[in-house]
Amino acid sequence: MINKIEQYKKVLYLLDKNNVEYIQYEHMPALTYEDLLKVQKETGFYGSETKSMALNIGSSQFIVCNTLQGKRLNINKIKETINQSRKDLHLNEIKSIKLATKEELEEHFGAEPGCMYPFGFSKNIDIFVDETIFQTEWLLFSPVLPTRTIQAKAIDLKKVYDNIGNRVTYVNDFTL
């Protein structure tokens, strides 16, 4: 089982190590976007909310996709992108993709639904990043804990992705 506090510290470490400009907010638990809107009004943080999703690609293998809240993933485009990258590695094609279950999130990421984070997990998990996230000034994301929100300079997060050791694929919008 993955320790949430250790994961939280790892996310902050990666931000600091890569000189990301960010502010951390502590607030009541926010597990839904509605909760987050209420918390946002109370605390005053602002920015575009990220959507980080852990996806099961079979045999307990996971990938993480990062985009902006409100966008719906185009599973066929994701599958096509993954399969192309797997061909480069001479690996088998992915046949199905499904959202990680609550139990899988807890076991493999130490997260709960609504608190999936964009980076800081095992290096064997590939990350797919919708490049449109870098077109906003500030991004908001959960650093694992439902009582914390990070407001970070979007462009600075690219430094994290480029230096974390995971295989990161930038995608020019994989949403519907």
Decide if pLDDT at 85 tops 80: no
Better pLDDT: 53 or 85? 53
Question: Can you tell me the mean pLDDT for 22-27?
Answer: 94
Domains of the chain: 4-143+165-171 (3.90.960.10)
Better pLDDT: 103 or 37? 103
CA atoms within 13 A on the CB side of 167: 10
Question: Can you tell me the mean pLDDT for 10-36?
Answer: 91
Q: Give residue-wise pLDDT tens across range 105-135.
A: 999 999 988 899 999 999 999 999 999 999 9
* Residue 175 confidence (pLDDT): 62
Q: Are the CB atoms for 71 and 59 separated by under 8 Å?
A: no
Whether the model clears a pTM of 0.75, i.e. scores above it, the answer is yes
Decide if pLDDT at 71 tops 60: yes
Q: Mapped to the 3 state alphabet, what secondary structure does the chain carry? A: CCCHHHHHHHHHHHHHHCCCCEEEEECCCCCCHHHHHHHHHHHCCCCEEEEEEEEEEECCEEEEEEEECCCCECHHHHHHHHHHHHHHCCCCCCCCCEECCHHHHHHHHCCCCCCCCCCCCCCCCEEEEEHHHHHCCEEEECCCCCCEEEEEEHHHHHHHHHCCCCCEEEECCCEC
